[in-house]
Amino acid sequence: MRIEIYYTIPPHTFSWGLPGRSEMKNFYEWQYGLRDKINEVNFRLLESIKTDQSYLFDMAKYTIDAGGKRFRPLLTILSYEISCNESYKKILDLAAGYELIHTASLIHDDIIDKSKYRRGRETLSSRDGIDNAIVVGDYLFAKAYELGSRYGKEVSKVMADGSSHLAEGQIIESLNIGNLSLDIETYNNIIKNKTAYFFSACAEGATIAAMASPDVRKKLSAFAYNMGMAFQITDDILDIVGNEKEMGKPTMVDLNHDVITLPIIHALTNASEGNKKILITILTGKYKEDDYKSKFRHILFKTGSLEYAFKVAKDYILKSVDNLNGIGRSDDLGLLMDLALIVVDRINESGVI
């Protein structure tokens, strides 16, 4: 069977289908079916950050309590379940560890971006100061690796490698701030390090813990990698057209910080000469009119750059799902396929995972 999903961002409508799925749930419907697992992950997260230093605990808890969709721990748990017949409870510490790394990276991102709000509340750096936020981020990293170490050296190395790539991706991005000549190859290098490799690490760590076959390990790692590429591209689209209230954070962060993303790369190459001049004026901060954000969106729509980026994200999702062929039970496969679909369905939901 083939489903058709329509993404409407006026004045354009995006559609695509995925073979084998007869219906599509939004993330919250899908997540509700996994609420017991999510509740246990949340419990492990709070247990893992306990310390005699009450102020440190309170700050760490504040960040964790901000919520999030627990996308990475769910990817870890589902990858484990599809790889073996053991209870998911055995992988909860690793799942929580990956979420702690993600949370720590968000704390540091908010410092770099000077963000005041995330998920509808003050960022830790805004509430408690940059110095304290750095310490909390470091603390969460340490606790994450402690959890990962419970699964052996190989899993610990995969977790560490995924974290190293986060830093490498951030540095490559920083070195290309405001680079209007940024090419797609370099952009892909940024997002694979910032996002895709860490997604892959979530799945690979789970398969190692499950003692899965090399074939299953390879397929699930590739599944998660391609899904991570789609995830970041979708994030970049949402930064331009997303709903701030539903996302719980500001939009146009990339534009305001001179970060060049895939829709911008496409527009700089394909816009008319007139629109290209306006776009460059906006990107270099020389456009002085108050409507620069709406003008920016309009050019990206008119040039087809958002639709182009969506198509690239869709193609990564199709590659992702192809890697699930021949592994696991149908129910487990269905959950992972839904997770892949949800990555790009965020454009319809206008929320960030």
Other Cβ atoms within 10 Å of 163 Cβ, number: 22
Q: What mean pLDDT is predicted for residues 100-110? A: 97
Report the candidate in 147, 163, 128 with the shortest Cα–Cα distance to residue 56. 128
Residue with more model confidence, 247 or 216? 216
Residue 329 pLDDT > 70: no
3-class SS at 226?
A: helix
Residue 51 pLDDT > 60: yes
SS3 percent helix, strand, coil of the chain, rounded to 5, is 70, 5, 25
Q: What mean pLDDT is predicted for residues 217-235? A: 97
Q: What mean pLDDT is predicted for residues 64-74? A: 92
| pLDDT for the residue numbered 348 | 63
Q: What is the pTM of this model?
A: 0.90
Residue with more model confidence, 328 or 223? 223
Residue 17 pLDDT > 60: no
Report the candidate in 75, 29, 73, 2 with the shortest Cα–Cα distance to residue 332. 75
In the chain, the domains with their CATH numbers are 19-349 (1.10.600.10)
Return mean pLDDT, the chain.
89
Tens digits of residue pLDDT in 257-311? 999 999 999 999 999 999 999 999 999 999 888 889 999 999 999 999 999 999 9
Other Cβ atoms within 10 Å of 157 Cβ, number: 14
Measured CA distances, 154 to 36, 142, 160, 284, 339 (Å): 28, 17, 10, 46, 26
